[in-house]
Amino acid sequence: MQPLIFTVDQLQEVARQVISESKSKFLCFYGGMGAGKTTLIKSIVKELGGVSNANSPTFGLVNEYFDEKNELLAFHFDFYRIEDEIEALDMGLEDYFNAEAWVFMEWPEKIASLIPEDAVTIHLQFIDENTRSIEFNMDKNEMVISSTTVSMNNNFIDKRHFFKMKCIFYR
């Protein structure tokens, strides 16, 4: 399976592929601090037509995103600060899961037994300052959904404003 290389400028295409290929509206983002979870979610929210800028809900635990008609698009959870699954249930997690909206979860390992069975897993890994690895598991059957190689012109793109991503899509 050939990894795909993306720059931050191509994150919208990654977001578009995640949305179009996902068989679930539940997306679980795994990865350490600084791996790019929130950055990818920002691109997904933008691609869905969100009118507000997505950001990490670390302290509020959940953000809501709406479209230009003020219709609910998604919930964005950051479970980093919760101590146990009871906290997630106490905040009404089941109600959020039953809503007709996308659900993005950072640090889903904190609520492992509560994650819907059809959730898509997205693993991001920090490689170095400019490189990330990303793997998507859309369902149990592996399939590469795209095969694109991108060449970069280091003189044109300021290294402070991009990072590479090795992307492996599973489906």
pLDDT at 114 (0 to 100): 97
> Can you tell me the distance from the alpha carbon of 89 to that of 61, in angstroms, rounded to the nearest whole number?
12
pLDDT digits (tens, 9 = 90+) for 137-168: 765 443 333 322 222 333 333 333 333 344 44
What is the overall mean pLDDT for the chain? 77
pLDDT at 126 (0 to 100): 73
Asked whether residue 84 carries a pLDDT value surpassing 80, the answer given is yes
Of the listed ranges 3-7, 68-72, 156-160, the least confidently predicted one is: 156-160
Q: What is the mean pLDDT of residues 112-140?
A: 79
Residue reference for tokens 């800028």: 53
Q: Where residue 130 falls among pLDDT bands split at 50, 70, 90?
A: low
pLDDT at 13 (0 to 100): 85
pLDDT at 94 (0 to 100): 95
Buried b (16+ CB within 10 A) or exposed e, 129-164: eeebbbbbbbeeeeeebeeeeeeeeeeeeeeeebbb
Indicate if the alpha-carbon torsion angle 17, 67, 110, 26 is positive or negative. negative
Domain ranges of the chain: 4-170
- What is the fold of 4-170? Rossmann fold (3.40.50)
Q: What is the mean pLDDT of residues 131-140?
A: 68
